[in-house]
C-alpha cells in the first residue's frame, strides 16, 4: 500500500479510536487546530513524562518551570520575533491558494531525492545480494542526472534563503516550473513576508489596551526567568531549565494532520554554559537527544540528523533530528547553539543585567545557551506512525482474518491492561472488577465485557493496550487468568497474584530511562 494511503488510514484510526479529533468539528472544524481524545491525552501525557523525567529526573543540574503564555510584548521585540519571525508566502492567482514559497521549492527538491531512492530500490531488488549500493549511486546515469539537478537547485535555494531574497525565491519557482497542486497553473503572485505571531489585546479599554502576543515558542519564558531560577535554585553553570507548554503560530501551510498546527505544544530545554564550551555541549545534546528517540525502538535507520546550512542570525550551530514519517523524513526536534544572543537582547531591552557570577573565574558574564526543542504533537505523530500496523492473519485453511494494531512502547500506551470476563455471568464480571480494583492504583486499566472475546482483543489491539487479562471458568477454581500479549498474541496462564509484578516490570519508565 502506498505510504500516503497508510497515512490517511492512520489519521482516520486516530479519530475512530479516540486519539485525535478535529477541533470544533460540529462547526466544520478550524484549520490546523486539533483536540486530543480520551486515549490521545494519555499518550500525550506519557510522552511528556518520558521527556520531563529524562531531563529533570536524570540531571541534577536541570530544573523545570512553567511560565505564562502571555508575556510583556517587548520580549518579542528583543527576541527578534516581531521583526523577523516571518515565512515567505506566495499565492496562486487561479486557485487563490496560499503557499510557503520555501516549502514549494523544498517539496520540489524532495522529488529528486525520491527519484534517486526509487532507482536504488529497483536496482536492489534486481541485483539481490550482489548489489553494490555505493558504486550504483556514484555511476548510474539517471541518479547522477537527478543529483546534479538537485544540487544546482539546492545551491540557488540556500543562497536565496540566506539573503532573504524574495524575488529570487519566486524566480526559482518559475524556473523549476512548479505548478499549484490545486489549479495546476503557474500563475503566481510576488513573494511576501508574513509574520507568524498571533496578536491580541490586554486591558479593559480600547485606548489603554496593550497589544500582546500568544507566544510562538516557550523558550523566551525560560530566558526571562534565567536569573530567577539561577539565584533561587543556587544553580551553577552548566545548568538547564526545562519547560513544557503551548505555543501558537499562524502557519500558512497547515497540512499533514498534527505535523504543522496553529496551536501546539513544545518541550524545550535551555542549557546555560560557559562561553567557549558551547560547541562541545551542542554535540553532547545532539547525541543525547538522538538516543532519547532511538530508545523507543522504532528503528535506527528511521532517524537522521539534518545540519542547518542557513543558520539563524543568533546561532553558531544547529541541527534537526528527522524521523521517516509516511510522507518522508521530516523534522521532529531542533538542537540549537543560540550563543548569548537572547540573554544579551533581554539585557539591552530591559536594562537589567542577565549575567552569571562565576565564582571559579571570579567574574560575571552572559552565558551561552544550547537549546533542545521538540514538539509534543510531532512526537505524538512519530509514535503513532511508527506503531501503526495492519496485519494479515489469514489462517492456514484460508479463512481470512486481519487486525490493526498499535504497537506502542508499553510505557507510552494509554491503557496498560484490559480485564475481560469470558462471559457476562457466573461471577466472572465480579472477579474481573476485583482485579481492576487491585491494579487501578498502579496502572490505567480498562474493563470490557461487550462482544466476543476475539472482538474485544481486536479493540484493545487497535488502541494499543499491551496486555489483555481474561477471566474464565478456571479462575474461581485456581485463581489463575490468561494474559495475552498484544504484539505476539501469545497467551500464558498465570496466578492473579503475579499480575502486578509482571505488568509493572514491562510498563516501567525506568527501563526506558536506563537506556539513556
Ligand atoms: N525555540 C526554538 C523553536 O521553537 P522551532 O524549530 O521553530 O524552534 C521547535 O520549533 C519544534 O517545535 C519543531 O522541531 C517541531 O517539533 C515543533 N513545531 C514547530 N512548529 C510547529 C507547528 N506549527 N506545529 C507542530 N509542531 C511544531
> Where does the pLDDT of residue 209 fall: very low under 50, low under 70, confident under 90, or very high at 90 and above?
confident
What spacing in Å lies between the alpha carbon of 322 and ligand 1's midpoint? 12
Q: Choose the residue to mutate in 84, 378, 381, 383 for probing ligand 1, maximizing ligand atoms within 8 Å of C-beta.
A: 378
What spacing in Å lies between the alpha carbon of 374 and ligand 1's midpoint? 6
DSSP letter for each residue of 460-478 = HHHHT-SEEEEE-TTHHHH
CA distance 280 to 285: 9
Q: What pLDDT is attached to residue 390?
A: 95
> Where does the pLDDT of residue 252 fall: very low under 50, low under 70, confident under 90, or very high at 90 and above?
confident
What spacing in Å lies between the alpha carbon of 440 and ligand 1's midpoint? 36
Average pLDDT, the chain: 95
Percent of the chain with pLDDT over 70: 99
Q: What is the pTM of this model?
A: 0.90
What spacing in Å lies between the alpha carbon of 333 and ligand 1's midpoint? 7
Please report, for residues 46, 113, 511, the alpha-carbon distance to residue 508 in angstroms, rounded to integers and kept in the order given. Answer: 11, 40, 6
Q: Choose the residue to mutate in 240, 271, 321, 375 for probing ligand 1, maximizing ligand atoms within 8 Å of C-beta.
A: 375
The protein residue whose alpha carbon is closest to atom 27 in ligand 1 is 375
> Where does the pLDDT of residue 362 fall: very low under 50, low under 70, confident under 90, or very high at 90 and above?
very high
Q: What is the pLDDT of residues 102-124, one digit of tens each?
A: 989 999 998 998 899 899 999 99
Q: What pLDDT is attached to residue 86?
A: 92
Which domains, ranges and CATH numbers included, belong to the chain? 43-85+196-390 (3.30.930.10), 91-193 (no CATH), 415-514 (3.40.50.800)
> Where does the pLDDT of residue 308 fall: very low under 50, low under 70, confident under 90, or very high at 90 and above?
confident
β-sheet bridge partners, residue 470? 420, 482
- The yes-or-no verdict on residue 206 having pLDDT over 70 is no
CA distance 145 to 150: 9
> Where does the pLDDT of residue 185 fall: very low under 50, low under 70, confident under 90, or very high at 90 and above?
very high
The protein residue whose alpha carbon is closest to atom 7 in ligand 1 is 217
Q: What pLDDT is attached to residue 309?
A: 73
The protein residue whose alpha carbon is closest to atom 4 in ligand 1 is 217
Decide: helix, strand or coil at residue 333: strand
| Measured torsion, CA atoms of residues 204, 205, 211, 213, in degrees rounded to the nearest 10 | 30
- The yes-or-no verdict on residue 500 having pLDDT over 90 is yes
Amino acid at each position: 500500500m502506498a505510504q500516503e494511503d497508510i497515512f490517511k488510514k492512520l489519521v482516520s484510526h486516530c479519530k475512530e479510536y479516540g486519539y485525535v479529533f478535529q477541533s470544533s468539528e460540529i462547526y466544520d472544524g478550524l484549520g490546523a487546530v486539533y483536540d486530543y481524545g480520551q486515549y490521545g491525552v494519555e499518550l500525550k501525557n506519557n510522552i511528556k513524562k518520558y521527556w520531563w523525567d529524562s531531563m529533570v529526573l536524570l540531571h541534577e543540574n536541570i530544573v523545570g518551570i512553567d511560565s505564562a503564555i502571555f508575556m510583556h510584548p517587548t520580549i518579542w521585540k528583543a527576541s527578534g520575533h516581531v521583526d523577523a519571525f516571518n515565512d515567505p508566502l506566495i499565492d496562486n492567482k487561479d486557485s487563490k491558494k496560499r503557499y510557503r514559497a520555501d516549502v514549494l521549492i523544498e517539496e520540489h527538491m524532495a522529488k529528486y531525492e525520491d527519484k534517486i531512492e526509487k532507482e536504488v530500490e529497483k536496482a536492489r531488488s534486481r541485483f539481490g545480494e550482489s548489489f553494490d549500493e555505493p558504486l550504483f549511486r556514484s555511476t548510474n546515469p539517471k541518479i547522477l542526472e537527478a543529483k546534479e539537478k538537485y544540487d544546482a537547485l539546492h545551491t540557488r535555494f540556500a543562497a536565496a534563503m540566506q539573503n532573504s531574497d524574495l524575488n529570487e525565491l519566486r524566480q526559482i519557482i518559475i524556473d523549476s516550473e512548479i505548478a499549484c497542486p490545486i489549479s495546476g497553473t503557474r500563475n503566481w503572485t510576488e513573494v511576501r513576508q508574513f509574520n507568524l505571531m498571533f496578536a491580541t489585546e490586554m486591558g479593559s479599554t480600547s485606548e489603554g489596551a496593550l497589544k500582546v502576543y500568544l507566544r510562538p515558542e516557550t523558550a523566551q519564558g525560560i530566558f526571562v526567568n534565567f536569573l530567577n531560577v539561577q539565584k533561587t535554585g543556587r544553580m551553577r553553570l552548566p545548568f538547564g531549565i526545562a519547560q513544557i507548554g503551548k505555543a501558537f503560530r499562524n502557519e500558512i501551510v497547515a497540512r499533514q494532520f498534527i505535523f504543522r498546527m496553529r496551536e501546539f505544544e513544545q518541550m524545550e530545554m535551555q542549557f546555560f554554559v560557559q562561553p567557549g564550551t558551547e560547541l562541545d555541549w551542542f554535540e553532547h545534546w545532539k547525541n543525547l537527544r538522538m538516543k532519547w528517540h532511538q530508545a523507543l525502538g522504532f528503528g535506527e535507520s528511521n532517524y537522521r540528523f539534518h545540519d542547518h546550512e542557513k543558520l539563524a542570525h543568533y546561532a553558531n550551530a544547529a541541527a534537526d533530528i528527522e524521523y521517516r514519517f509516511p510522507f518522508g523524513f521530516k523534522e521532529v526536534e531542533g538542537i540549537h547553539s543560540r550563543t548569548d544572543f537572547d540573554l544579551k537582547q533581554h539585557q539591552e531591552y530591559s536594562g537589567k543585567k542577565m549575567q552569571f557570577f562565576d565564582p571559579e573565574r571570579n567574574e560575571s558574564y552572559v552565558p551561552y545557551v544550547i537549546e533542545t526543542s521538540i514538539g509534543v504533537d510531532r512526537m505524538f505523530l512519530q509514535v503513532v506512525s511508527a506503531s501503526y500496523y495492519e496485519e494479515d492473519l489469514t489462517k492456514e485453511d484460508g479463512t481470512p482474518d486481519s487486525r490493526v494494531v498499535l504497537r506502542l512502547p508499553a510505557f507510552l500506551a494509554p491503557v496498560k491492561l484490559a480485564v475481560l470476563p469470558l462471559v457476562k455471568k457466573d461471577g466472572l464480571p465480579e472477579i474481573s472488577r476485583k482485579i481492576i480494583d487491585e491494579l487501578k492504583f498502579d496502572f490505567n486499566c480498562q474493563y470490557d465485557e461487550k462482544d466476543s472475546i476475539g472482538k474485544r482483543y481486536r479493540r484493545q489491539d487497535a488502541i494499543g493496550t499491551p496486555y489483555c487479562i481474561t477471566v474464565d471458568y478456571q479462575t474461581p477454581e485456581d485463581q489463575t487468568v490468561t494474559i495475552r500479549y498484544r504484539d505476539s498474541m501469545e497467551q500464558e496462564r498465570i496466578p492473579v497474584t503475579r499480575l502486578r509484578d509482571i505488568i509493572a516490570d514491562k510498563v516501567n519508565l525506568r527501563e526506558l530511562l536506563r537506556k539513556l
